[in-house]
């Protein structure tokens, strides 16, 4: 339970507590090394990583990846993405589309990929509900 989530978008204490609770549950259930909630413009709502990744840079790149994928799939008529899954030699990254927000999770243990994807799907509705109180002018 020692995960410290850094929040950059201003949220009230109640919202921050609810969000932190959900994010802690995800890190425990999915065993992820990186977990973030960002806006589609790259602003950080919450960020945690065991790596040395720069939070601002990581958020901007992740938002760009999400937006680029949406452009690509819309060009071929598939509609917006629900998930983007990037499998690497030494880990994976999953980006889950939450409308105005993106839930990003990653881990070095590739064997936890399917579990992590499932956990993100399970927690997404609750996270979307929590995030719905954040006005667009807050980021």
- Which domains, from first to last, does the chain contain? 13-133 (3.30.450.30)
- Amino acid 111: pLDDT: 86
Summarize the confidence of residues 38-58 as an average pLDDT: 91
DSSP string of the chain, one letter each residue = -----B--S---HHHHHHHHHHHHHHHHHH--SEEEEEETTS-EEEEEESS---HHHHHHHHHHHHHHHHHHHHHTT--S-SEEEEEETTEEEEEEEETTEEEEEEES-GGGHHHHHHHHHHHHHHHHHHHTTS-GGG-
Task: Give tens-digit pLDDT for 54-94.
Answer: 999 999 999 999 999 999 999 999 998 999 999 999 999 99
Tell me what the pLDDT averaged over the chain comes to: 90
């Amino acid at each position: 339970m020692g995960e410290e989530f850094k929040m950059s978008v201003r949220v009230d204490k109640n919202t921050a507590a609810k969000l932190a609770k959900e994010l802690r549950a995800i890190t425990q259930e999915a065993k992820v090394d990186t977990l973030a909630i960002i806006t589609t413009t790259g602003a950080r709502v919450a960020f945690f990583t065991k790596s040395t990744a720069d939070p601002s840079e990581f958020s901007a790149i992740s938002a760009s990846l999400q937006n680029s994928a949406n452009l690509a799939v819309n060009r071929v008529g598939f509609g917006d993405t629900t998930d983007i899954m990037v499998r690497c030699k030494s880990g994976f990254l999953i980006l889950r589309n939450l409308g105005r927000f993106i839930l990003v999770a990653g881990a070095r243990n590739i064997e936890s990929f399917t579990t992590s994807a499932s956990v993100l799907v399970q927690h997404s509705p609750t996270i979307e509900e929590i995030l719905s109180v954040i006005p667009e002018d807050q980021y």
